[in-house]
Structure 1
Amino acid sequence: MTLTIIQLIVFQFLLPAAFMISLARGKFESKLEWLVQGLLTTAFISWLFFAQPWDWFSFYLRFGWLLVLLVLLVYTWKKVKSLPFRSAYSRNQKWSLGIYTVLLLIFGMYNVWIFGGYSTDEEAVELAFPLKNGVYYVGQGGNHPQINYHNTHPAQQFALDIVELNAIGSRAARIYPENLDAYRIYGEDLYSPCAGEIEESRNSLPDLIPPETNAEEPTGNYVQITCESEDVQVYIAHMQEGSLAVDEEDSVQQGDPIGVVGNSGNTTEPHLHIHAERDGEGVPMLFNERFLVRNDLVW
């Protein structure tokens, strides 16, 4: 987990700062040089904005980088607007333009993949959001691995991992606390997303102290609900030990309490995992007609 924190610091602080400083200090001799480097910086910040998980430090930090980018583009344009579009370039300048162009293509493709993951052609099932009375953040969600690592697993390809944000836009009181109560979502009530029957459940696995995991029981404490009107099985996983308010073969109505968010199973911290299946294949889910993707908020 230390590696994850280091990666987040690099991608959310150090790399964007390096891109911004490079653009601000660029000694451009033509508009083309500025355009290529400006587009690269924009493509990188766009990828950062949409693809990175922003719940560790603050959800609002992503908007800060957008603002810095806009100010910087205006500032640097004022310096180059009187320059010719092209000029005679040295070998080093040609190499720089070539490298920037390759990086621009790479991050441009990343953005194309991300935006492609914001929708699906498959028929979706409409469900009720299983949490209430908070600001909830989608950490994993969408139709591409760039924004949803579940997408590579057929049964869970449209699964969502959801946490709750505090007043500063973070999912926990500290970066990665061991105290489960420090996570905003821990202990939140869960409600049935549809009317149906409880087909499977588990209620006895312990809540783990981060970063402990239980790979042998990946779902932890969970319920499987067969939704009567949609012909799908909905799984809600990682629930708190002993918290289930339903038993197998119970009938539930949409909005009935079913348990509490916990940290059981193959999970590194408290969160809600939910996905829908039909015949072992993942089914897209809509909540209030929204197909949720990474960095979406639900109130």
Structure 2
Amino acid sequence: MHRTLARFRTLFVLLGLALALTAPLHGVGLLTVAGFVLILGGVVLVFVPGGVQGREPVVLRCPVDGRWVPVNSPADKVPSHGTHELGQTYAIDLVHAPDPEREWRPLRRWPLASRPETFPSFGREVIAPAGGVVVQASGRQRDHWSRNSWPAFIYLLVEGMLFRQVLSLLTLSAGRFIVGNSVVLDLGDGVYAVFAHLRHGSVRVRKGDRVQAGDVLGEVGNSGNSSEPHLHFHLMDRPRPLAAAGLPFAFRYESDGELQTGVPGGRAPFIPVTDEPASA
């Protein structure tokens, strides 16, 4: 029962906000209390996985080429981003790190912010990991400067929670202001792939397009709730993130000279292997 309720966590919050904000206008205290109860219930359900658990990972081609570092990986913890919201239980963030001599670091002291063009990830091609149909594509949001210094990161947290999250809820946009420019692919068999934080104006597909594994969908950007240019990728079991549950996935990749099939983690650099076709 609790997993079914978890699918409607965002609806509970929206309904609770509506009651809490409008009930005082009519002088009805019970509705105000009910609103806050619904909000609290929705927040609690953020930490409850929805859908059917125990599904085998979907083996896919990695959506990027080159040398990358996995950040916030489900290989390290589940849910990888600390929440089951928007179907991102098994989400992964990928940062391009082409120079083996330079270790990637999540936060720095200086500069406070940098232009997105100064990061290796920015503009890298995002590739379809399997054949599918585009069910959502958007690319009009701006690429902001980085927020990977401590002061800027604190601002990012405040902005993400108080501005982007609330704006997404109020506009029923399924987290559009959180994920930024994005593409969602229907891979078949109830599997939907999400590619987030894409570069402004780079999305090359439209809703209804059919793509093949290896087709370019867009480019890595820094739109939405992002500290620096990177690709956010995850699978979910429904096309609409508001009611979706996350699904596990696996890539073929090389790390430390070994070929592996799974999810890269531990912030250990890896290189995707693309010599075999992916199957959803």
Q: TM-score range by the shorter chain?
A: 0.5 to 0.7
> Larger C-alpha radius of gyration, 1 or 2?
1
Higher normalized contact order (CA 8 Å, seq sep 6+, divided by chain length): 2
Give the count of matched residue pairs. 178
Which structure 2 residue ranges, 5 or more long, are not aligned?
1-52, 148-155, 168-176, 239-243, 253-260, 272-280
Q: Distance in 2 between matches of 1:291 and 1:145?
A: 11
| Partners of 1:126 and 1:185 in 2: CA distance | 24
TM-score in terms of structure 2 length? 0.57
Q: Pick from 120, 127, 138: which aligns with 1:202?
A: 138
Taking the aligned partners of 1:253 and 1:290, their CA distance within structure 2 comes to 22
Counterpart CA distance in 1 for 2:119 and 2:142 is 17
Q: Larger helix proportion, structure 1 or 2?
A: 1
Match of 1:247 in 2: 206
Aligned match of 1:219: 179
Q: SS state of the match for residue 181, structure 1?
A: helix
**Equivalent residue number for residue 104 of structure 2:** 170
RMSD across aligned C-alpha pairs, in angstroms?
2.6
Distance 1:292 1:236, change over 3 A: same
Closer, same or farther: CA 277–287 of 1 in aligned 2, 3 Å: same
SS of 2:178's partner is: coil
Instruction: Say if 2:208 is the partner of 1:272.
Output: no
Aligned equivalent of 2:126: 190
Equivalent in the alignment of 1:160 = 92
Tell me the CA shift for residue 235 of structure 1.
0.4
Alpha-carbon distance in 1 for matches of 2:137, 2:218: 11
SS in 1 for 2:87: helix
Query: Deviation at 1:264?
Result: 0.5
Taking the aligned partners of 1:235 and 1:277, their CA distance within structure 2 comes to 8
For 2:250, which of 286, 293, 299 is the aligned residue? 286
Q: Shift of the alpha carbon at 1:145?
A: 4.4
> 1:292 corresponds to which letter in structure 2?
P
Displacement after TM superposition at 1:123 (Å): 1.3
TM-score normalized with structure 1 length = 0.54
CA distance in 2, matches of 1:275, 1:150: 14
In structure 1, runs of 5+ residues without a counterpart are 1-119
Separation in 1 of the partners of 2:265 and 2:129?
Answer: 18
Distance 1:137 1:144 in 2: 13
Identity, % of aligned positions: 25
* 2:62 is aligned with 1:129: yes
CA deviations 1:197-229 (Å, max 9, x no partner) are: 00001111110112266624111100000003x
What is the aligned partner in structure 2 of residue 142 from structure 1? 74
User: Which range moved further: 279-288 or 120-129?
Assistant: 120-129
**Cα distance 1:240–1:154, how it changes in 2: closer, same or farther (>3 A)?**
closer
Provide the secondary structure at the position in 1 that maps to 2:182: strand
